[in-house]
Chain A
Amino acid sequence: MNKLKKFLSLFCVTVLLVGLLAGCGGANSSSTSGEEDTVTVLISNDSSRTAIEAVTDYIEEEYGIKTVFETRPGGTEGDNIMKTRLATGDMADIAFYNSGSLLQALNPAQNFVDLSKEPYMDKVLDTFKDTVSDDSGAIYGIPATSVMVGAWFYNKKVYEELGLEVPKTWDELMANNEKIKEAGKTAVIGTYKETWTSQLIVLGDNYNVLAENPSFPEEYTANKAKLATTPAALRSFEKLQEVYDEGYMNDDFLATNYDAGIKMLAEGTGAHYPMLSQVLPLLATNYPDQLNDIGVFPQPGDSLEKNGFTAWMPHAFYLNKKGEKVETAKKWAEAFLSDEGVKRFVEAASLDGPLAVEGVELPDDVPQAVKDMLPYFEEGNTAPALEFLSPLKGPNLEQITTEVGSGGKTAKEGAELYDQDVEKQAKQLGLEGW
């Protein structure tokens, strides 16, 4: 009897222990023994996934690689999650993230797979490759979205109704704003509840900054020029302040969020929305009937001669170097940029701009706003945003633009504050000259 008892208890303990071990290893064993290969993709929840999913469906059909999406928030919350998951070795196989300065803050050489030797890289535009590579010549990302612009989206119906013309200078734009305000509509939609949206007037002004001061990014990176003391750069902050000073925004702009802003633009209760062209896919999904009422023009400068878009390089997919499925992820990336993959992408997308892949014909039914921006790209009247020309982007810009944009600080004070913010970033990155 006693012996039996002893045996039973021993047995139970063994079973429990084995069960525990199996429980720990469960996730790994099931994924390797599965017939179908899967990769995980960490993606932000504020971007449209329609086009990406069209390609991943194709990858699953053709290559037998299933894609499992994990979502994270956008903005600084998202940066935080990226950094933490990378540091703790908990990153998905593939990460969707900004190119340019934000990527540089992630220490790409240590975390992501170098793709510079991959044959498909030949067809990726060089301007994009520059923003996902480092000094060693390694290239870490493939374009995951189209090239975007940071510009003024406007409701064409409101423009027609009030007899307005697309402004070519900042003064003309402000004159339009005045007329729209008089007509009882919101001239400029502010959605500062989501603080990142407050940065657009400043960031989208880079074309004008470069037009006046082409070497600004290099000097800025080398600590030789400051925003607050460079008139062209300070002007960007002044524009933000002017919009507030004149009272052109909706009264509750501090409590309005991104979705509400898109609604205002689509329904024409707001006329202008300074935003990234990533709003277009969201408009296409939520307000398909109004999509072609929405046009876009670049944030104008002070003179008539120069007029062009500030462009955002696409977000990219990066392959996690320490992931369990680097090889599968590489195949996935190749499939994503295969001719058929790109074709599927273009067909499914309600595009928000041209692709960063060479030799792609855009379909005729692109949204009106994209038609507005294409001539600028064809004529070369675009310039990348500052964050793609310099590794420096201070983390507090969105709070500072909120303050300037809501009258808490003057443009000059805001620019000075941001210069201090950038200094910290430069030191953390270990740049020379700081």
Chain B
Amino acid sequence: MRKKMKSNPYTYFFLLPAAAVYLIFFILPTILSFFFSMTWWTLTDWKFIGLENFKVFLSEPSMNIGFKNTVIYAVVTSGLKVILGLLLGVFLSMRLRSVGFIRSMVFFPALLSTIAVGIAFSTLMHPSQGMINAALSFFGVAGPDWLGDTKIALLSVALVDVWKGVGIATVIFIAGIMSIPQEYHEALSIDGGNAWHRFRNITLPLSRPAMNTVIILSFIGGLRTFDLIWTMTKGGPGFSTDIIASIIYKQYQAGFYGISTAGNVILFIVVAALAFPLYLYLNRKEVDM
């Protein structure tokens, strides 16, 4: 026993601070929220009411829109981030002049605060005074009401999300592409392959791990997104850009603490139910180098 302790220079007690933080700030609230989701709750007073809150939350009139929007938003943002990130990644892993500068340009939006981005873009997207429509009208195009038209408002927000998030995706892709051994490229050029063959047969399959990371991260991020939607549209006009997270927040704002907690439990289940199968599926398709 003594000997064993000596061989491991640190005791497990060193884990305690981290474990305590994790327990107090993650595990405990999670368990509590499962409990409070089944209560009528005013923060100071509660009464057990079973699954009533779940029923109320799911019959929320904007819930249909919310579910649909959440999935659309997650698919659109993660899809675009993968495609654009891959293209930028391939481009920026070439040996170009001032590639470092372009890389930082692409990554820069990721450093900004989401709230600031949201406020800036809702000003830029103002239908009559915004810069985007002013620029479009210069070319003779009448720009739409980006955030006011219920048909495109969600996509407008999704585009801003892509603008902000594509930098991270690109960096992950660059790392993935750079780690592909040079020998494969040499072998391909001996066999007489061109640039397209290189992309199709080497870069694409071998950057699969990077792509899976990007898909999972941005898909989960899209499912539980909140801050950008809230700063840009607050779920509006009306309920047209409501997502699950914004519906939850509105319940919380209104003081329906039990219902909003039930909503969070539902969101947790939805994210897990969509993300786990996706993760397993993607992992199975990875190839070894």
Contacts and interface: CB of A to CB of B under 8 A. Distances in A.
Interface of chain B, helix or strand or loop or mixed?
Answer: loop
A424 B62 CA distance: 14
Contact of A402 (B40, B145, B236, B255): B236
B152 to A, nearest CB: 12
Interface stretch (A27-35, A44-52, A79-87, A359-367): A79-87
A110 B62 CA distance: 33
Contacts of A110: 44
A122 B232 CA distance: 47
A252 B237 contact: no
B185 interface: no
A251 B129 CA distance: 12
Contact of B256 (A192, A406, A424): A424
Interface in B42-71: 42-44, 56, 61-62
B261 to A, nearest CB: 13
Interface string B135-159: 0000000000101101000000000
Nearest to B127: A252
Contact of B56 (A251, A403, A424): A424
B43 A254 contact: no
Contacts of B234: 195
A395 interface: yes
B239 A428 contact: no
Given A252-B127, A252-B148, A425 B235 contact: no
Contact of A400 (B127, B238, B250, B259): B238
A167 B150 CA distance: 34
A211 interface: no
B5 interface: no
A120 B61 CA distance: 47
Interface residues of A, number: 31
Contacts of B148: 252, 254-255, 406
A401 to B, nearest CB: 9
Given A403-B239, A408-B240, A255 B256 contact: no
Interface in B221-259: 234-240, 250, 252-256, 259
Contacts of A425: 254
Contacts of A409: 238
B255 A195 contact: no
Given A254-B148, A255-B126, A424-B259, A395 B253 contact: yes
A408 B238 contact: yes
Nearest to A394: B254
A79 B43 contact: no
Contacts of B253: 76-77, 79-80, 395
A79 B235 CA distance: 17
B251 to A, nearest CB: 8
Nearest to B123: A255
Interface residues of B, number: 28
A396 interface: yes
A76 B40 CA distance: 21
Contacts of A192: 236-237
A417 interface: yes
B128 interface: yes
B56 A396 contact: no
Contacts of A420: 61
Interface of chain A, helix or strand or loop or mixed?
Answer: helix
A398 to B, nearest CB: 9
Contacts of B61: 417, 420-421
B256 to A, nearest CB: 5
Nearest to A401: B238
A201 B138 CA distance: 38
B256 A254 contact: no
A406 B237 contact: yes
A260 to B, nearest CB: 9
B250 A395 contact: yes
Nearest to A107: B42
A195 B128 contact: no
Contacts of A410: none
A403 B238 contact: yes
A427 B147 CA distance: 34
Contacts of B252: 80
A286 B255 CA distance: 35
A399 interface: yes
Contacts of A400: 238
Most buried by B among A79, A251, A399: A399
A54 interface: no
A71 B73 CA distance: 34
Given A254-B145, A254-B148, A195 B236 contact: yes
Given A252-B148, A420-B61, A424-B259, A395 B254 contact: yes
B176 to A, nearest CB: 41
Given A424-B256, A425-B254, A399 B235 contact: yes
A309 to B, nearest CB: 28
A23 to B, nearest CB: 22
A168 to B, nearest CB: 32
B10 to A, nearest CB: 23
B236 A399 contact: yes
Interface in A177-196: 192, 195
A284 interface: no
A102 to B, nearest CB: 10
A421 B235 CA distance: 16
B43 A87 contact: yes
B43 A408 contact: no
A428 B253 CA distance: 13
Interface string A369-407: 000000000000000000000000001100110110010
B81 to A, nearest CB: 27
A79 B254 contact: yes
Given A255-B126, A255-B148, A396 B250 contact: yes
A105 B255 CA distance: 8
Given A80-B253, A105-B255, A399 B238 contact: yes
29 contacts: A76-B254, A79-B254, A80-B253, A83-B255, A87-B44, A107-B44, A192-B236, A195-B234, A252-B126, A252-B128, A254-B147, A255-B126, A255-B145, A395-B254, A395-B255, A396-B250, A399-B62, A399-B235, A399-B238, A399-B239, A403-B238, A406-B150, A408-B150, A408-B237, A417-B61, A421-B61, A424-B254, A424-B259, A425-B254
